[in-house]
């Protein structure tokens, strides 16, 4: 990318002017809506005044990635299992993590068993027509985007493939292996891409709106960023699949097709920024510095 003449448009302009056909609607069933308790009192949070809603929208990852966990997440949301749980851990430059702090809340019946074998898929399960080559990478021999998701892969994109831990990605907390987590304990990446977690934790989605409600939470002060006191935990009012919301509240989003010409131009412009601000275009971009553009449709 970037060998051709510089694009006259910046990456932001390319996204803003991408044709309607370059956008892919995100299925309502792939949207998870997480409402934290409204913002507490406190001048600290002036941009979100006391009582303001704190809604985080998560897009579930495309099939067949992380299939057993994604199915569990849908069941947990349908069972309203997370309602009344909390964000329990916020570790700076790492993750915000939520779930049942007591670790005693009974799980819904019929959750899938999970295992480390499903952290990866065979690349053959990701149709070539849905893939676009991604940039060179330090961690994975190959990268590509699959239906808008950043993927690392072995070989030339054959062999195993796995989603990668970029900012905003949502993963599954677990205990020591062979435990692979159920999906009841989730985390969002709020720092530099922790790529060492790739193939060590399942990734079930990404935050597409409202990540600031997680990333700007106070950091926990005991080991791994857990809150020292129960009162410091941030209450979760509810987590729902979007279709459970009243129709007027159901948001709609689209992502920029990673198969579109606009995407190719966007990726080239991110690697070779020529906005008036830049003196020295990088000539390269890492996969986590190439976020897939998402827009709110409604």
- 164 sits near a copy of itself (criterion: CB under 8 A): no
Asked if 57 and 33 touch (Cβ cutoff 8 Å), the reply is yes
Residue ranges in 194-213 that form contacts with a copy of itself under rule CB under 8 A:
194-196, 198-200, 211-212
Residue 267: both structure tokens together: 């990726």
Nearest distance from C-beta of residue 244 to a copy of itself, angstroms: 27
Residue 28: both structure tokens together: 């309502």
Out of 138, 246, 247, 298, the only residue in the binding site for a copy of itself (CB under 8 A) is: 138
Residue carrying the six token digits 């990446």: 189
- 139 sits near a copy of itself (criterion: CB under 8 A): yes
Residue ranges in 9-48 that form contacts with a copy of itself under rule CB under 8 A:
39-48
Residue 84: both structure tokens together: 């009344």
Q: Between 209 and 244, name the residue whose CB sits nearer to a copy of itself.
A: 209
Nearest one of 261, 267, 265 to 282, comparing CA atoms = 267
Residues belonging to the chain = 298
Out of 9, 112, 215, 250, the only residue in the binding site for a copy of itself (CB under 8 A) is: 215
Out of 134, 163, 168, 183, the only residue in the binding site for a copy of itself (CB under 8 A) is: 168
List the alpha helices (DSSP H) in 79-128.
none
* Residue 152 to residue 186: CA distance in whole angstroms: 21
Is residue 80 left, alpha or beta, with left meaning phi > 0 and alpha meaning psi from -120 to 50?
Answer: left
Residue ranges in 82-111 that form contacts with a copy of itself under rule CB under 8 A:
90, 92-93
Nearest one of 143, 100, 106, 94 to 123, comparing CA atoms = 143
Residue ranges in 221-240 that form contacts with a copy of itself under rule CB under 8 A:
221, 227-229, 231-232
Residues at the interface with a copy of itself (CB under 8 A): 39-48, 90, 92-93, 116, 119, 135-139, 166-168, 176-177, 191-196, 198-200, 211-212, 215-221, 227-229, 231-232, 270, 273, 276-286, 288-289
């Amino acid at each position: 990318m970037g060998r051709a003449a510089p694009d006259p448009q910046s990456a932001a302009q390319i996204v803003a002017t991408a044709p309607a056909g370059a956008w892919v609607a995100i299925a309502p069933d792939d949207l998870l809506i997480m409402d934290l308790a409204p913002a507490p009192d406190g001048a600290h949070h002036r941009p979100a005044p006391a009582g303001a809603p704190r809604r985080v929208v998560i897009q579930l990852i495309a099939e067949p990635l992380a299939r057993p966990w994604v199915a569990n997440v849908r069941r947990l949301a349908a069972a309203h299992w997370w309602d009344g749980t909390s964000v329990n851990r916020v570790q700076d430059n790492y993750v915000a993590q939520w779930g049942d702090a007591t670790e005693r809340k009974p799980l819904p019946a019929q959750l899938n068993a999970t295992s480390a074998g499903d952290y990866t898929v065979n690349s053959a399960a990701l149709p070539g027509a849905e893939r676009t080559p991604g940039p060179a990478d330090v961690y994975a021999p190959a990268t590509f985007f699959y239906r808008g998701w950043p993927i690392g892969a072995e070989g030339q994109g054959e062999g195993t493939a796995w989603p990668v831990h970029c900012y905003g990605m949502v993963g599954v907390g677990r205990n020591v292996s062979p435990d692979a987590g159920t999906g009841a304990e989730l985390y969002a990446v709020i720092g530099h891409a922790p790529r060492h977690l790739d193939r060590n934790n399942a990734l079930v989605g990404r935050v597409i709106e409202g990540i600031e409600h997680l990333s700007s939470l106070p950091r926990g002060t005991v080991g791994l960023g857990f809150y020292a006191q129960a009162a410091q935990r941030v209450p979760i009012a509810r987590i729902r699949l979007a279709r459970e919301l009243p129709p007027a509240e159901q948001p709609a989003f689209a992502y920029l097709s990673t198969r579109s010409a606009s995407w190719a131009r966007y990726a080239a412009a991110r690697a070779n920024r020529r906005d008036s601000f830049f003196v020295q275009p990088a000539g390269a971009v890492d996969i986590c510095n190439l976020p897939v553009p998402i827009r709110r449709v409604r």
